[in-house]
Amino acid sequence: MKQYVVDAFTDQVFRGNPAAVCLPESWPSDALMASIAMENRFSETAFAVHEPEGWRLRWFTPGGEIDLCGHATLATAYVILRFVEPDADMVRFRTMSGVLTAARTRGDDGAGDVFTMDFPAFDIKPTPVTDTMERALGARPVEAWLGRDLLCVMPDERTVRDLDPDQELLKDLPGLLANVTAAGDPGGGFDCVSRSFAPKLNVSEDPVCGSGHCHILPYWSERLGKTSLTAYQASARGGIIHATVAGGRVGLGGGAALFSVGTILPD
């Protein structure tokens, strides 16, 4: 089985969010896909199979299958449009979250391609800020919202960057992931900064979380009165997302860099 490792939401390796992309000719068993994801230890391993109806895409974390993943979708689009369908500039995926598209804008001389994905926005509702949130995160949010994930809003960018949360206490918080965000500092070039923690999926921190930004970006779009935003994920690796928010959808754009190409030998 061919496997590619791609750094997403960046234009250089060792930055952004690494994802493994596997392109089997037919579907492996769920158990094998879960084992490959655990072996890889990336936040997500993507599996894409070209079925009669088109591409189907699934995502596995080290803790199991997940319903939506942004960076591994970008990485899969990069692999397909570079190695499998190089003359195409769009790919559609059938997924657990419906049909997702990824379009390529070609860079100069074949470098610097940008991939823009069309994702559903999560419906988030306010939820009380609790002492448990403060203990888990190490700082008290000024607001909290809940969709699939928990979204905690902090008073400033520095608080987000300096967080050192208690991974075990994070498991007691509602939501699948814990996304923490604040407005970007004036003059910093970003509308918002964020970090995403997923110990329930055996991922302490997701370097750049696309599905997390399907919570984060609708919040900031409403708060700032903007439909086009630039977001920075302030993890150790860092990553930039160029986004649009409209009509219950989120457009997530970014680059990708190929780290490796290999073959998995599951037998």
Query: Residue 139 is which amino acid?
Result: A
How many Cβ atoms are within 10 Å of 164's Cβ, its own excluded? 8
Residue pair 200/63 in contact (Cβ under 8 Å)? The answer is yes
Sequence-ordered strand ranges (E) for the chain: 2-8, 17-22, 45-51, 54-61, 64-66, 90-95, 98-105, 114-120, 125-126, 143-146, 150-153, 178-183, 192-198, 203-206, 228-233, 239-246, 249-254, 256-263
Question: What are the Cα distances from residue 207, in Å, to 49, 79, 166, 179, 194?
Answer: 26, 20, 17, 12, 10
Q: From the candidates 25, 44, 168, 205, which is the catalytic residue?
A: 44
Is 44 tagged catalytic? Answer: yes
Query: Residue 238 is which amino acid?
Result: G
Instruction: Report the Cα 133 to chain-centroid distance in Å.
Output: 22
The catalytic site residues sit at 44
